[in-house]
Amino acid sequence: VFQELGTSECYFINGTEKVRFVERYIYNRQTYAMFDSDVGHYVGFTPFGERNAEYWNSDPEGIEFKRGQVDRYCRHNYEVFGPFSVERRGERGA
């Protein structure tokens, strides 16, 4: 059985003051490539991931799109889901 997975994650520090977008590409439980908005480009962790990262980084429009995901995906969803997750942290039903 082979498994391929892509994940997108947002990390928030002080609300939306410091936001980080991370997209990981995983094959059989090993991350082979990743985009990190703090780094600003794709990074490969295996020979296959390095080839993909080089290809993806060679597309200036694609890289700009990924860099914009911090605002488009993370900050937008923070405003949508913030009241349900951040503000309720630690609350218990009484």
With CA atoms as reference, report the closest residue to 35 among 59, 14, 3, 2: 59
User: Residue 6, CB half-sphere, CA atoms under 13 Å: how many?
Assistant: 5
Identify each DSSP E strand in the chain by its residue range. 4-13, 18-27, 30-36, 41-44
The reported pLDDT for the residue numbered 61 is 96
Q: How confident is the model over 69-88, as pLDDT tens digits?
A: 998 888 887 777 665 555 55
Q: How confident is the model over 3-28, as pLDDT tens digits?
A: 999 999 988 887 778 889 999 999 99
The reported pLDDT for the residue numbered 51 is 97
Q: Does the structural domain 4-85 have CATH classification 3.40.630.10?
A: no
The reported pLDDT for the residue numbered 2 is 87
Cβ proximity of 33 and 22 under 8 Å: no
